[in-house]
Structure formats: C-alpha cells, structure tokens
Amino acid sequence: MSKTSGLGRGLGAILEEVEEAYKQNSGSSEFVKEIKLEEIIVNPFQPRKQFDPESIAELSESIKRHGLLQPVVVIRSNDKFMLIAGERRLRATRLAGIESIKAIVADIDKDRIRELALIENIQRENLNSIELAISLKELIEEHDLTHEELSDIVKKSRSFITNTLRLLQLEDYVKDKLMENKITHGHAKVLVGLDKEEQKKITDSIIGQKLSVRETEELVSKLKEPLKEKKSKKVSEARKLELGKLIATLNNAYGIKTKKTSSSITIQFENQEQIEELLKSLKNS
C-alpha cells in the first residue's frame, strides 16, 4: 500500500459531512448536546497556537448579544469531549462567562484527528510560518514521506515545503518574532544560515527600522561579504602552506631544485634518474 494512501483528505471535507448531518438531525439530542465547558478538552493536536485576542473579544461580545449561532464540533474522549472544530468559539464563550456550549458530537476516529487537522490547516493556509513548518515536519516523520510525496498531499510545491522547513533552523528569538508577525516569512528566509547573534541583530533591525525584505537581503549580503573574503583568504593561506611543504619535500627528500614565481612552480631535474625516482615514489604513495 502506498505511504500516502488515506492521506490528503483534510478535516474540512469530513466536517462538511458532519454539518450536513447536523442540518438533517438538528432536533436529535444524540447528535447535538449542550455540554459544560469543563467537560471539553481542546484538541492537543491542533497545529494552530496563536489566536488574536481582539478577535476573540469581539466574538465573545457577539455571543453575549446573539448567542452561539454555529455549534462547535467534538468527539467523545473517555469521560470527556475533545474539541476538533471551533476553538475560537469555545474561547469566546468562556470569555463571555457562559458555562456551557452547544456542540455537535461527531463520530470520527480519534487516532486520525491529528493528521486531519494538520492537513486541513496546511491546505487552508491557516497557520503562521513556524506552525506550518512544524506541521509539515510532523507529517513527514509520522508517515515517512519525501518532500515530493508531501507536496502531492497538501497541494503545495516541493520548493515551498523545503523552504518552509528550513525556517526551523532559525533561532528561537527569530521564530518568536515571526510567530508574533513582527517579521514576515520573506524576512525569515533571508536569515536562515546566519549565526545566532547575527540573526538577532538583523531581526531587531528589521523591526526597529521597518526594513523591507529587499532591504534585509541587501543588509545580509553586505554582512556576508567580509565573511567570504575571510574564507577566501584562509583558503589562499592554506594553499600556500601546502605548496611550501611540497617544495620542501622535493628539495630535501629528492634533491630536486624548484623555482617559484607568483603564478607558477618550475621543477628542475638534473637527470633522468631523478624523474624516475619521483614517479616511482608517487606511484607507491
């Protein structure tokens, strides 16, 4: 069986079926219940971690005035109910000081909830960049997928997946600013590969000076230029050292004279025996 069989159908498609059944059975107490908030546990596999406080407050006021128009969706989890859709509504209801909430009790396999939630949020672009990267990583590890296979499942390009996963290499400080929307996905991509202090310094510059992605790229490019020169200098010095060792070996071990200029080395053999001795030594080395 293919590793990707059974994957790809997001939670949204299944919830549509649940909502349709709700419309047809809205009067059934077995399908819709008034559940105390203390009996509901949030989905521990929910990829989305950030919720806008202002948006929750606005929804809370609306619920106070008009009631909850759309039930949340839960599944049974031992002696509790696990929330699988409607965390904003649940948070807003709790903020409104209401002790219970109308909920659709769905019949969905608990073991698939995490996978369904991940795929749904990825496909709907409902996550910030770091949450998305974590979700992609979890799907890859749990199902042993290649980037190409995951690309087919979540309907994103392979390069998008690869570049998003690279964000997990960033320092926590930068990740936090990205999750807080202080910097953008484009800014963050530019910072991958820099050392810890450089990442923090440039992140602060982006925020403090309101740098665009292009301006950030230029800043990072200038920062890397001295590093390239330093690396080139190190390589050049290493080559000079190796060259010096070679000349010393030819002179001392084989008695072969050499003449060095800035761009070449001339080896001066006194006779055929020296040539044959050197060739024999190279062959045996």
Per-residue pLDDT at 16 = 59
The per-residue pLDDT for range 38-93, each reduced to its tens digit, is: 999 887 766 666 778 888 999 999 998 888 888 888 888 888 888 888 888 999 99
pLDDT recorded at residue 61: 92
**Given 17, 34, 39, 87, the catalytic residue:** 87
For the 11-110 domain, the top CATH level (class) is alpha beta
Where do you find CATH 1.10.10.2830 in the chain?
Answer: 120-221
Report residues of the chain scoring pLDDT below 50: 1-2, 4-11
Question: Does residue 87 carry a catalytic annotation?
Answer: yes
Nearest to 224 by CA among 203, 193, 187: 193
User: Can you spell out the DSSP letters for 211-253?
Assistant: --HHHHHHHHHHHHHHHHHHHHHHHHHHHHHHHHHHHHHHHHH
Distances (CA, A) of 213 to 29, 95, 200: 54, 38, 16
Angle value at C-alpha 64, between 47 and 54, nearest 5 degrees? 45
CATH of 120-221, one of 1.10.10.2830, 3.30.310.50, 3.40.50.300, 2.60.40.1180: 1.10.10.2830
Q: Where in the chain is the domain with CATH 3.90.1530.30?
A: 11-110
Encoded tokens for 135? 């979700």
**Residue 119 in contact with residue 7, Cβ under 8 Å?**
yes
Reported pTM = 0.51
pLDDT, position 273: 77
